[in-house]
Amino acid sequence: MCVEGHRFDDPSQTEAAHAIDHLALMREALEEAKQSPPKPSNYCVGALLVDGDNGEVLARGYTLELEGNTHAEQCCLAKFAQAFDVPEERVGEVLPTNTTLYTTMEPCNLRLSGNLPCVDRIIRTKCKDGHSVIRKVYLGVKEPEKFVGENKGRAKLEEHRIECIHVPGLENEILKVATAGHEK
């Protein structure tokens, strides 16, 4: 079934969602970020796709994990799509309809390379009925204003009714990992 809001009909699922340890999942995303090769012109970010009903990790990714100039969020989506043998742009058809994304840094809305921003990849992740399946994005830090000025990623996601939630507590470590290889 692919009906927006259906998950709230089942109280047991709502309770399970409350029990999800967001900080622990953000730490797992940070472990991904640590695997990213440092590059002076971007950030080392880690991300997870998680089943919002039960907290199960569905895919993991980090910046430059996949071939090409790839972002962490993009790698998660592409890896899950690959596992189900669908193209990345159709990954919403095989993801649970209550998927959440954990990312150490706010998803990008503009890329200096001109590649498709992760915000647009997240928004287009729809099931066959046309509903976005990524309902919530948990983020560890806002993107620093170093490469693209103020990143409007969070605002654009929220315009599309994708809730963005800051998970506090790991900012210093996330930024240290993210800026590895940058000139100080």
Given the rule CB under 5 A, which residues bind Zn ion? 71, 108, 118
State the residues that interact with ligand HJL by CB under 6 A. Answer: 41-43, 45, 63, 69, 71-73, 103, 105, 107-108, 111-113, 115, 118, 143, 147-148
Strand pairing partners for 48? 60, 102
Pick what 72 binds: Zn ion, ligand HJL, none; C-beta below 5 to 8 Å, kind-dependent. Answer: ligand HJL
How many residues in the chain?
Answer: 184
CA 115, distance to chain mean position in Å, is 17
> What's the one-letter identity of residue 29?
A
Six-digit token string for 138: 């948990």
Helix (H) or strand (E) holding 75: helix 72-83
- If the CB atoms of residues 7 and 71 are measured against Zn ion, the closer one turns out to be 71
- Which of Zn ion, ligand HJL, none does residue 102 bind to, with CB < 5 to 8 Å depending on kind? none
Integer Cα distance of 75 and 104 in angstroms: 14
The least CB distance from residue 45 to ligand HJL, in Å, is 4
Nearer to Zn ion, 12 or 113 (CB): 113
